[in-house]
């Protein structure tokens, strides 16, 4: 289907991003939309929230409304919903997220549904990578046919862990710095976090896949793998083409999907 025809049926791609405070969610969204500006925020009625105090509150823990829509002017083809503060609350916060997902998954018009869920887990807190919030979400939340991708954010924090370990083993600072990233990826791939996420008896609804994103604060940060994995997990060809045509940071994937479908 031609991108212009897709846009007529579904004008924008809708993503719910979930994760604890300071997980690097906004940084990722800015990278995806290729901008450094903050998003415009609209309430459930489609009215723009202009008041500065309201914006500050909406970013605060426990006050943010998941129904609000975040749109970046650089790429208005994406609509983001953010569940800030999810880790802070008990059942009430979880219920809000669960209710929102259930409601959006049942919308008659496909353009109003959530098309993808990104769940961010920061690795600078690797000792508590999985909290009660993650366990609750992946064991109880019914996401239906919406694909869920886990994003291990701030993955470069593990480089520092491996760097320190290599120094203790007698490596020079130069060698330790060079080897740390490779060791971090290998340790993580064979570690307990992934085994828990995909094979624990407590995880009844594991994600479709995961991606690790290091160095998102750097100018040359690359979200290419997240874009590729998101496209791959979409069962609908229409949504797949919409997502690929909407994202602006990976031209190669646009060409691949244009050629191979």
Number of domains in the chain: 1
Q: What's residue 79's pLDDT? A: 95
Q: What's residue 255's pLDDT? A: 60
Note down the domain range covering 116. Answer: 3-156+194-260
Task: Kindly report the number of other CB atoms within 10 A of residue 227's CB atom.
Answer: 22
Q: For residue 146, what is the domain's CATH number? A: 3.40.50.300
The pTM of the full predicted model, rounded to 2 decimals, is: 0.88
Residue 112 domain flag? yes
Average pLDDT over residues 184-196: 90
Mean per-residue pLDDT of the chain: 84
Residue 178 domain flag? no
Residue 101 domain flag? yes
- Name which of 19-23, 36-40, 117-121 the model is least confident about: 19-23
How buried is 251 (Cβ within 10 angstroms: 0-12 exposed, 13-18 middle, 19+ buried)? exposed
Residue 175 domain flag? no
Share of the chain above pLDDT 90, in %: 48
Residue 186 domain flag? no
pLDDT digits (tens, 9 = 90+) for 79-137: 999 986 566 556 777 888 999 999 998 888 888 999 999 999 999 876 666 788 888 89
Q: Which of 3-7, 85-89, 170-174, 195-199 has the highest mean pLDDT?
A: 170-174
Residue 242 domain flag? yes
Residue 34 domain flag? yes
């Amino acid at each position: 289907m031609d991108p212009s025809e897709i846009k007529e049926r579904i004008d924008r791609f809708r993503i719910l991003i979930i994760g604890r405070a300071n997980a690097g969610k906004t940084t990722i969204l800015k990278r995806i939309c290729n901008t450094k500006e903050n998003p415009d925020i609209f309430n459930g009625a489609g009215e723009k929230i202009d008041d500065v105090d309201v914006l500050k509150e909406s970013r605060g823990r426990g006050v943010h409304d998941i129904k609000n829509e975040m749109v970046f002017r650089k790429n208005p083809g994406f609509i983001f919903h953010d569940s800030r503060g999810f880790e802070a609350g008990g059942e009430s916060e979880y219920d809000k997220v669960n209710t929102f997902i259930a409601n959006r998954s049942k919308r008659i018009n496909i353009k109003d549904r959530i098309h993808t869920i990104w769940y961010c887990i920061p690795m600078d807190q690797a000792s508590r990578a999985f909290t009660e919030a993650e366990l609750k979400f992946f064991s109880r939340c019914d996401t239906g046919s919406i694909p869920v991708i886990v994003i291990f954010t701030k993955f470069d924090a593990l480089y520092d862990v491996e760097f320190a370990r290599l120094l203790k083993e007698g490596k020079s600072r130069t060698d330790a710095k060079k080897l740390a990233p490779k060791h971090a990826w290998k340790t993580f791939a064979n570690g307990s976090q992934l085994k828990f996420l995909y094979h624990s008896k407590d995880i009844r609804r594991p994600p479709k896949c995961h991606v690790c994103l290091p160095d998102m604060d750097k100018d040359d940060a690359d979200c290419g793998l997240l874009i590729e994995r998101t496209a791959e997990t979409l069962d609908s060809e229409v949504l797949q083409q919409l997502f690929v045509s909407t994202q602006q940071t990976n031209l190669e994937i646009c060409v691949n999907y244009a050629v191979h479908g």
